[in-house]
Chain A
Amino acid sequence: MIPFGFSLSPSSVTDLDKVDTRRYRELLRLEPGAATCIGCGSCSATCTSSAWTGMSVRKVILGLQRGRDVEVDAMLRGCMLCGKCTMVCPRGINTRNLILAAMRISKEDGK
């Protein structure tokens, strides 16, 4: 290859027709409130561990919708279950239950 001095980055395009959303559907069964998330990011803004671990409830939901299970599992490991995100959620989503449900699904998957 010609040495251009720069290269292509992997595409971040998500083909929604090919995404495995089984875990997201299971999450909706265990915590239906996840469907009401508006992605405002209040949970991420108040998250104590976010700055050090990359944890973000908003990104967990988005990641499950897009089948990015590996990233989701890494984020979930950073949660301390302090519950601040539950207090600030404008839609009243039980985010602690959401996180525990996502962890349970992840564990069932053997992750």
Chain B
Amino acid sequence: MIYQGKQKIWSDYQKEIPDDHWFYVRSCIRQNFFPASEKYFLGICRDMLGKDIYETEHHTTCGGIAYHSDTIPQETAMTIVARQFALMTEAGYENLVASCITSFGNYTETLETWHEFPELEERIRENLWKACRREFKKPRYVAHASDLIYKFRGEIAARAKYQLVDRESGEPLRVVEHIGCHYSKMFPHKGVGGAEYPCVLSGMAEAWGGKVIDYPERRHCCGFGFRQYLVKANRGYSVSNTHKKFESMEPFHPDLIITNCPGCPYFLDRWQYVISEMTGKTYGENGYGIPVLTYEELAGLVLGIDPWDLGLQIHQVAVEPLLNKMGVPYDPETKYLGLDRKDIMKPGLPTFLKCC
């Protein structure tokens, strides 16, 4: 293929992400798993970069988790989405940014479905009016929060206190980037780089000094898969997926994993403990696991935010080896002290996975 042809194809998978004025919708599960990620997304965009990002306490789940678990029909999920659009319209915004990959996929799927079936959009408008007397305008632009951090990666790099570089060897840290399936596998042109070469996370990692590693199962699912996990009898599928990924990335000795989905970091993190209990095997150095971070947490670390303020003590896999490599200072004594130095209690230790 001639070079110009490649450039043309690549340009089809780039996004013109608006610079400012966003209506922000949170994830329904991320605050339990990664308690500070959304807070620091707002902190970075609003306080540090001065962007206008608005959120309202009236927004709800997007319904995506129930839709993908087969517990509600698509029309119901669409009506929930329509209500979010109504809140955005009432607040005077046109750009919608979602914290969750499944929400992003759900909003995109809804808009694409309405584009193909306008009569369905009319029915959903009617449903929304009957349910809560609201009306809406469709968003001009829908982005995922990682798109914004990707857009501002240069500004973050310019303010960085720490690099994704091994302090002792001077070598870039080896980063595994894992993109949530609902980011671009459903609608490739909606993601930066499409489905096969999404660069939303690799762009961040490289901008902050890291080196992205390529491995055979790079685009494989994390193992969440909704039904695969939610039904206990199916969890073997979930953990086997994750195991496959870790076996594939292990020879490349990754220093960390960066993700942009609520489910992926949770499963890549927690399943390392389960796999270690099942097989006795750990994938990091010296009996540790491979730290798994959200993109906000990694941006926070690079910007010099205290790791315990970022909620990294909530992770199953210890992040201390990564902090040591980056040269990020931390106080082991305050690891399990929460807000106002309240004791949040030290967890029990696994049999094989070294955690502190």
Contacts and interface: CB of A to CB of B under 8 A. Distances in A.
A11 B247 CA distance: 9
Given A11-B243, A13-B247, A4 B274 contact: yes
Contact of B232 (A5, A9, A11, A13): A5
Given A1-B277, A13-B216, A13-B217, A8 B236 contact: yes
Interface residues of B, number: 19
A5 to B, nearest CB: 6
Interface string A9-21: 1011100000000
Interface string B226-269: 00000011111101100110011000000000000000000000
B235 A6 contact: yes
Nearest to B247: A11
B235 A4 contact: yes
B220 to A, nearest CB: 10
B223 to A, nearest CB: 11
Interface of B, secondary structure class, is helix
Interface residues of A, number: 11
A81 B244 CA distance: 38
Contacts of B277: 1-2, 4
A7 interface: yes
Interface of A: 1-2, 4-9, 11-13
21 contacts: A1-B277, A1-B278, A4-B235, A4-B274, A5-B232, A5-B233, A5-B235, A6-B232, A7-B278, A8-B236, A8-B239, A8-B240, A8-B278, A8-B279, A9-B237, A9-B240, A11-B240, A11-B243, A12-B244, A13-B244, A13-B248
A-B interface, 4 closest residue pairs, ranked by CB to CB distance from nearest = A6-B235, A6-B236, A9-B240, A2-B277
